[in-house]
Amino acid sequence: MNELVFFINNVIVAGSVTGSIYAIGAIGVTLIFSIMRFAHFAHADMMTFGTFMVLLLTLAFPGAGGAVGLPTPIVMLPLAMVLTALLAVGIDKAFYKPLRAHGVKPIVMVIASLGVTLMLQGVIRLFAGTGSQNLYLAGERKEIYRLDVPFEMAARPIIVTEPQVILFLLTIVCVVGLHLFLNRTRLGKAMRAMSDNPDLARASGINTNHIVAVTWVIAGGLAAIAGTLLSLDVTFKPDLSFFLLLPIFAAAIVGGVGHPYGAIAGGFVVGFAETLAVFNWTVLLRPVQHLFPAWLEIPRNLAFVGTEYKIVVPFFILVAILVWRPTGLFKGKVI
């Protein structure tokens, strides 16, 4: 039973954490693609920016979370989401909108977003330094929940931390909220209309500039959530989110780029693929060793790939899924 608990801790919990963060990030990437038709590379640094805002707010109001029984960074998250949304709208106004007005090709927008990435990274490093910082300041402590498994043979508990629980809850809220938004609200439908046919959307009285702004607000807000919860799970580093950029793009493409539900599915597929690939299967096989013939000895490490090659996994999955379904898991391009 201990082995099963080990599996749950290392694959189910870890995979859900990675998957949730990829999913929330990929929703933003895919929404921006479906509305503006370009791959927004600065997305990861919008995540970092959001986290940095949380860090600053937490430093400014230490212990504010104590009053409501939540970690202070979580209490500061809504404000950081607003700030990140403002940043996203501002970046669009300053850099992308003039390019769009000239009708440039998507590749120009992509390169511009790379420029924005470098700029944001520089600015954040300038103020935050290059080291890592804990979002839990002195006086606050990461709650760790140990769930005892109700079996006699299980000595180890399932371990979930407070930020992980909050992450799972927020992911559910985001997914349900997004679904309601896209299907029930006029604005969400207008967004779907614009992703389908921008000319017709305009001729149907939809203010497409407004839709673009709304898209940035949503993408910025979600980026702040993803970045902050990632940093709560580990620590804040100026380049932490940047290293998630490629897996997040892989997730968006695996799901069918431009398709928000696809992004969610893609996020979890990539997240679980990563954790399953580095999981040491020997642990699960050891209890059943007596069933194997004596000459077959189970190697000490039976992981598919070493942890150092983790980054390869999303791309292996990406290629494999695109060969099987060229449009991604969901039919891509249109919301």
Partner 1 sequence: MPSIIDVRHVYKAFGGLKVINDCSIQVEQGSITGLIGPNGAGKSTLFNIIAGALPLDSGQVLLDGEDITNRPANELFHKGLLRTFQIAHEFSQLTALENLMMVPPRQAGESLFDAWFKPGVVREQEDAVRRKALEVIDFIGLHHVRNELAGNLSGGQKKLLELGRTMMADARVVLLDEIAAGVNRTLLGDLVSNIERLNRELGYTFLVIEHDMEMIARLCDPVIVLAQGSVMVEGTIEEIRNNPQVIEAYFGSTAA
Binding site for partner 1 (CB under 8 A): 180-181, 184-187, 189-190, 192-193, 196-197, 199-208, 334
Q: How far apart are CA 43 and CA 233, in angstroms?
A: 20
CB of 73 to partner 1, least distance (A): 25
Q: How far apart are CA 306 and CA 271, in angstroms?
A: 16
Two structure tokens written together for 71? 């970690």
Q: How far apart are CA 259 and CA 267, in angstroms?
A: 12
CB of 178 to partner 1, least distance (A): 11
Q: First and final CA of the chain: distance in angstroms?
A: 44
Q: How far apart are CA 277 and CA 308, in angstroms?
A: 11
Give me the residue label for tokens 């799970």.
233
